[in-house]
A = this chain, B = another copy of it.
Amino acid sequence: MNRDDPEGAIAAAARSCSNWGRWGEDDRLGTLNHLTPDKRRQGAALVRRGDSFSLSLPFDMNGPQKGWRRRTNPVHTMLDTGTDAAAGLQDFPHGIGGADDVITMPLQCCTQWDGLGHIFDHGRAWNGRDAATTVTSQGDLVTGIEHMAAHVAGRAVLLDVGRVVGGGELPDGFAITEAHLVTTAETHGVAVGRGDVVLVRTGQLARAKRDGWGDYAGGPAPGLSFTTAEWLHRSEIAAIATDTWGFEVRPNEFAEAFQPLHQVVIPHIGLLVGEMWDLEALAEDCARDGVHEFWLSAAPLPITGAVGSPVNPIAVK
């Protein structure tokens, strides 16, 4: 990997990892094709205690966003309130009162899935489509996240690299390699394979919770090394999610680059990528009972034409 040639490295990785055409010309699911009904049966069989964990951060104004590319934190406002109801200011009969609310938020502001229309490589979107005609001002006309609405439920695995390799937390700038992933899985005694959703905990979020957001949104962070592209492809996982803003290590591993691993895994592998997942409580539990596999439901909101979606992923052990 030539530090000074991200474009060449990306092109090479794209060639060797490409899933273009693998599921037909009309495919809108990418690696979710690996997540079969059989995988859901396996996942359901992992529900032993029946305890559930939300892997979502709170959606509110106290989030990590600072306005980069107009990404703000969610703004939640009330249309009607209990205060108004109690003051008798609503025109409803027989003592009924109500409260309604509204939200305005970037779909990339908090715990989220990146849709297949989120990243392009030289004007090409997933499956080789022309980015220009796929994602216009009207939204993603082909691979909108609504096509994934029913799919993201199955077996998931936690790889707590922060604990295994970092003794709790990986430092910012730490590049997680295939070797780290394999070692972590072995240490956990868990298998990772076709159709799994893989959750990688770096521990950066634990740090942010303790010390404040700082530059969590876009600053230095531990994350997947560019070199994991091959593993991400070869392992045939259905999806991956991390507890960081941007999934891959930052600063990126090239002299001048911006999220080069995204440029391979989304348009070429068709990989579903989750970001800003809160894996803390789940990881604590896994460390306690030694079980790192579980049921996961993480259905995106079917926002027509969206290139991403907020999500409240639920793990059940």
Q: Which residues of A contact B (CB under 8 A)?
A: 6-7, 10, 36-41, 43-45, 47-54, 56-62, 67, 69-87, 89, 92-108, 117-123, 125, 130-140, 146, 149-153, 254, 256-260, 262-263, 295, 297, 299-308, 310-314, 316
A259–B97 CA distance with the chains assembled, in angstroms: 10
Question: Across the interface, do A50 and B39 meet the contact criterion of CB distance under 8 Å?
Answer: yes
Question: Across the interface, do B86 and A308 meet the contact criterion of CB distance under 8 Å?
Answer: no
Question: Across the interface, do A120 and B107 meet the contact criterion of CB distance under 8 Å?
Answer: no
A297–B307 CA distance with the chains assembled, in angstroms: 23
**Which residues of B have CB within 8 Å of A101?**
106-108, 139, 303, 306-308
A121–B95 CA distance with the chains assembled, in angstroms: 6
Question: Across the interface, do A314 and B153 meet the contact criterion of CB distance under 8 Å?
Answer: yes
Q: Specify the chain B residue showing the minimal Cβ separation from A51.
A: B37
In order of increasing CB-CB distance, the 9 nearest A-B pairs are: A37-B50, A82-B131, A82-B135, A297-B297, A44-B47, A40-B50, A86-B132, A97-B120, A60-B304
Question: Across the interface, do B79 and A81 meet the contact criterion of CB distance under 8 Å?
Answer: no
Question: Across the interface, do A77 and B76 meet the contact criterion of CB distance under 8 Å?
Answer: no
**Which residues of B have CB within 8 Å of A314?**
150, 152-153, 297, 299
Question: Across the interface, do B137 and A78 meet the contact criterion of CB distance under 8 Å?
Answer: yes
A299–B297 CA distance with the chains assembled, in angstroms: 9
**Which residues of B have CB within 8 Å of A130?**
82, 86
Copies of this chain, count: 4
**Which residues of B have CB within 8 Å of A106?**
79, 100-102
With A107-B100, A139-B76: A45-B48 Cβ-Cβ less than 8 Å: no
With A85-B120, A149-B312: A262-B96 Cβ-Cβ less than 8 Å: yes
Select which of B36, B76, B120, B262 is within 8 A of A304 by beta carbon.
B76
CB distance from A140 to the nearest CB of B (A): 7
Question: Across the interface, do A82 and B260 meet the contact criterion of CB distance under 8 Å?
Answer: no
Q: Specify the chain B residue showing the minimal Cβ separation from A96.
A: B263
**Which residues of B have CB within 8 Å of A39?**
50
Question: Across the interface, do B303 and A76 meet the contact criterion of CB distance under 8 Å?
Answer: yes
A308–B99 CA distance with the chains assembled, in angstroms: 9
Question: Across the interface, do B132 and A87 meet the contact criterion of CB distance under 8 Å?
Answer: yes
With A52-B40, A75-B102: A83-B121 Cβ-Cβ less than 8 Å: no
Question: Across the interface, do B306 and A312 meet the contact criterion of CB distance under 8 Å?
Answer: no
**Which residues of B have CB within 8 Å of A41?**
47-50
**Which residues of B have CB within 8 Å of A149?**
54, 56, 312
Q: Specify the chain B residue showing the minimal Cβ separation from A125.
A: B82
Question: Across the interface, do A136 and B84 meet the contact criterion of CB distance under 8 Å?
Answer: yes
Q: Specify the chain B residue showing the minimal Cβ separation from A133.
A: B89
Select which of B49, B74, B119, B302 is within 8 A of A312 by beta carbon.
B302
Given contacts A82-B130, A89-B136, 11 further A-B contacts (CB under 8 A): A7-B94, A40-B316, A44-B44, A52-B151, A54-B150, A81-B84, A82-B136, A87-B87, A95-B122, A101-B308, A297-B299
